[in-house]
Amino acid sequence: MRILRSIYAQLGQVCRIWRDEMRTFVRDEGVFLFCLLMPAVYPLLYAWIYNNEVVREVPVAVVDNSQSAFSREFIHKVDATPDVRVACRAVSLDEARRMVERQEVRGIYYIPEELAEGIFAGCRTFISVYADMAVTLQYKSIYMAASNVVGRMNKDIRISRMSSLTTARDEDVAAAPLQFEEVPIFNPSLGYGGFILPCVLMLVLQQTLLLGIGLSEGTRRERRRLCAVQRPSLSRGYGIRLAVGKGLAYFMVYSVWAAYLSMVVPRCFGLVMLADWRDLLAIMFPYLLSCISFALMLSWMVRFRENVLLLVVFTSIPFLFLSGISWPQSSIPAFWQGVASLIPSTYAIRAYVRMASMGATVADVMPEFRALWTQAAVYFVFASVVMWRTRRQTES
């Protein structure tokens, strides 16, 4: 009976900690904003911004010094592509550059005077492409539009020089004897949104948890008060009960957000979703546990309420790069790969991208699955120790 009473008392303490933490969600405006509103609104805003997937109708300026049939054909065909729009025809290259500086156009096509003469003489001539590299997607559109048009014009020029060809089939084979077929996989639209959004969705879960738990712990430290605890309860086992009670509150809230971000948001915006919901659930469960324990463990760094904002803002972009999705994992130095292995979002992003975009199952992402469970266990132990020590320091 004594053992049962002890277990009952400990469970009651866990429930009180959970109750107090749930009240924090409503009473603390910062925790309410970062844990209840941001996970709902921020992914929608981000997905809406990149909903078009690709950049279209990028304004460019053309400097046509040739004034020939070839230059006019090039300008007409480039303007007809969905990627760019010929906004103006500049008199000189200096004038076009000033337009780029004023952001009236994003790129320049410079056609030299000797274009037609060089083509008729059988010499190689060049059309120069100048692009604003501040936005990589716009540069890609400007460059690809010119490259595709020049490729088609080269084919027509080669055919016109072959007098022995009699049929259209002979002309096609002679102009391009070796063809290739481009089949984009995993990202059929070749869009930026389908590439970056899955990473952001997983990172939002971790970063908002860091914000919410950091704000909650920072507030308690500032106010120098305990969370429904008496002095005799501050035993070593209390750290475990505190981590379980607080973790349970955040897990209940974020289990909803995990399902919302991993399954609802991608389908709302037409992103590729090949994963089965059971596989996603199997990954989200250890990911949430590891994120909660990770945030509780790092809460010792939050001396003041505002500190957590600096911590999360500073780490968000590095965490995204270290995941190995936006930057190739093989190109990341060994030291930073070691740092990345300590971050829960690293494994969750890799697993989620493979499952959602490539149709992988849990068996295919087993290394990431095991890593998340290992992090959840290790960080829970550290979180229990940290919570116990911080409560003792706060009491004293």
- Average pLDDT (381-394) is 76
For the ranges 151-155, 214-218, 370-374, the one whose mean pLDDT is highest: 370-374
Mind listing the domains of the chain with CATH numbers? 2-51+191-395 (no CATH), 58-175 (3.40.1710.10)
* 127 has pLDDT over 60: yes
What is the sign of the dihedral through the CA atoms of 237, 238, 240 and 245? positive
What confidence score (pLDDT) does residue 151 get? 81
Q: Tokens standing for 308?
A: 């957590």
* 317 has pLDDT over 80: yes
For the ranges 44-48, 77-81, 264-268, 296-300, the one whose mean pLDDT is highest: 77-81
The pTM score is 0.74
What is the SS3 string spanning 313-378?
HHHHHHHHHHCCCCCCHHHCCHHHHHHHCCCHHHHHHHHHHHHHHHCCCCCCCHHHHHHHHHHHHH
Helices (H), the chain: 2-27, 29-32, 38-49, 69-80, 93-101, 115-120, 136-160, 168-175, 192-223, 236-259, 265-268, 277-298, 307-322, 334-340, 344-358, 366-395
Residue with the bigger pLDDT between 49 and 374: it is 374
DSSP state at residue 132: -
| 181 Rama class: left (phi>0) / alpha (psi -120 to 50) / beta | beta
182 confidence band (pLDDT: 50, 70, 90): low
Task: Give the SS3 label for residue 62.
Answer: strand
